[in-house]
Each structure stands twice: as C-alpha cells, then as structure tokens.
Amino acid sequence: YDDRDGVIWMDGALVPWREAKVHVLTHALHYASSVFEGERAYGGQIFKSREHSQRLLDSAKAMDIPSRWTVDDIEQAKATAMAANGLKDCYVRPIMWRGSGEDMGVAALLNPVHLAVAVWEWGAYYGDAKTQGAKLDISKWKRPSPETIPCHAKAAGLYMICTMSKHAAQAKGCSDALMFDYRGYVAEATGANIFFTKDGKVHTPTPDCFLNGLTRQTVIDLLKQKDVEVIERHIMPDELESFEQCWLTGTAAEVTPVGKIGDYSFDVGPMAVGIANEYERLVRGNR
C-alpha cells in the first residue's frame, strides 16, 4: 500500500503517499501505542464522521495518548485528505500514535504524538461473500477481559489476535473468524460485530469486552424502527446451531450475510439481505 500515487495528511501537512513514513524506533511500532479509525465516505459524506473522530479521541485517552487535535480538527483533516486525493467514495483511516522519544523504554509520556489520515478506494470487504454469505472459521483466540486490555478502544494492540485469527481462517478457505470471549461467549469477528436471528427476533452479543461498533448501533436502530425485537445478551457457542440467519456489521464490512460458521449453516435469508439493503440505503442517503 505504500507504493502508489496520492497524498496522506500527516501532522497537518499533505505528504506524497510514498514519503509518508515513520522512523523504525517509533514507540508505536515496538509497543503498540497506536489507535485508529476505519470510516467510509459515500458521495463525499463520511457516515457518522464525528462519532468516529470522537471514538478516536476516546481510544487515545484510554491509551494515555494526549491528543492536540479536537474532533473539529480531525474532521478538517479527513476532509482535506479526501479533497486532496479527489475521492468521494472511499475508506478513511485516521491513526494516532506515539513517535520516537528520548529513550526506547516502555514509558512514552515524553514521546511526541502524531496523527495521520489516509484515504483510499476500498470495495466490498468480504468480496463475493456479500451476496453469497461469508464462511467463518472459529478462532482459537479469545477476546480478552476488560481487566486485561482497554477493550472498547480501537487500539492497534488489540488487533494481533485478529490478524492471527484471520490468517488461520484464510488458510482454511474462510473469509473471517468468529472469536469467543474469555468466558467462552460468542463475541465478534476480527473486524466486525455479529448478529443472529431466531423465530423473527434478532440476537446479538452484549458488547462488554469488544468494540460496540457504530455499524452495530446503526443496525440495531434500523431494526428497532421496523419493530424487530433485538436481544443483546450473552450467547453460548452451542446456541449457534439454533440460529437461522446471521450477518456481520462493520464500517468496512457494511452488512455482510454469513452462510457458515465452522460446521453450522445459516440461510442468506430475508432478514440478513433486508438489513444489508436498508443499511446501504441509509449510508447512501437515499432512503
């Protein structure tokens, strides 16, 4: 991704894409002192833009990374990056991290904090799965407890188990992995939240140790507007068998129906497809 045309917003400057670099002794590279966002713009408008900017600042705060940028500054940076690259329909990746400082230890209170915003075109996150239903592996890695990590931060360090889970899933021909949590409950995929249906009702895990995605919240609102009952609760793996439909939600994934999780099969049915279409209409603003 580094060898291409375009510009990246870095600490207030627009830097040619190939030159948007950090030093190898960057604290974030060694100790994961980095937080980021994933957003999508549709027709020039980033969906829930301010909520994403606020979440970036909340993640930074949870990680002891002081931001000299406000929500308004981040909004401006994102708009500048999109305009400079001439993109209206794109993925937006703000990232804030600790740079290199006086020493190379774990503590980083004196290390400078940086912000960058990159934007690029990114199609369907799960490719064909969007229409055919994604196939998920079940990860051996568990989402850790809130006492172990700041589980609601979108922090780089939390993605190491996601990457390992996704690699294992892809090696088995799956699009993604479903992770259980430290207690054994169904949690989420490596970059998306999960929903199930049973007898006309929707069930989704309580986000008490993983990201309560903005797409997840949007989909719950859409379902409630349609008088569909949404039950947020702890879901045991042995319940997977009893669910009829399943889908994933995330900014990159949007709403993607799931056809299989391990040996369990789900229908790419009217609820999953309906909510995917509804979300599409909402983000494109032509409801």
Q: Which residues are marked as active site?
A: 154
Cβ-based nearer residue to ligand PMP, 138 or 211: 211
The secondary structure element, H or E, covering residue 132 is helix 129-132
Q: Which is nearer to ligand PMP, 57 or 214 (CB)?
A: 214
Q: Which two tokens stand for residue 137?
A: 């592996």
Q: Which of the stretches 70-78, 108-116, 210-218, 221-229 binds ligand PMP when contact is defined by CB under 6 A?
A: 210-218
Q: Is the distance from CB of 130 to CB of 256 less than 8 angstroms?
A: yes
Alpha carbon 207 to its chain's center: 14
> Which of positions 137-196 make contact with ligand PMP (CB under 6 A)?
154, 162, 188, 191-193
Is the Cβ–Cβ distance between 246 and 192 less than 8 Å? no
Residue 15 or 71: the one with the smaller Cβ distance to ligand PMP is 71
Q: Which residues from 6-45 bind ligand PMP, rule CB under 6 A?
A: 38
Task: Check binding of 250 to ligand PMP (CB under 6 A).
Answer: yes
59 is a contact residue toward ligand PMP (CB under 6 A): no
Task: Please pick, from the candidates 63, 211, 223, 272, the single residue that binds ligand PMP as defined by CB under 6 A.
Answer: 211
- Please select the residue that binds ligand PMP; options are 216, 245, 257, 264, rule is CB under 6 A: 216
Q: Are 96 and 34 in contact (CB under 8 A)?
A: yes
Concatenate the DSSP letters of all residues of 228-256 into one string: --EEEE---GGGGGG--EEEEEETTTEEE
Q: Quick check: 259 binds ligand PMP (CB under 6 A)? A: no
Q: Does 214 bind ligand PMP (CB under 6 A)?
A: yes
State which residue has the least CB distance to ligand PMP.
213
Residue 116 Rama label (left phi>0; alpha psi -120 to 50; beta)? beta
Using the rule CB under 6 A, which residue among 133, 213, 257, 259 binds ligand PMP? 213
Listed residue (37, 10, 160) closest to 91, CA to CA: 37
Euclidean distance between CA atoms 271 and 28, whole angstroms: 41
Residues of this chain that bind ligand PMP (CB under 6 A) = 38, 154, 162, 188, 191-193, 210-211, 213-216, 249-251
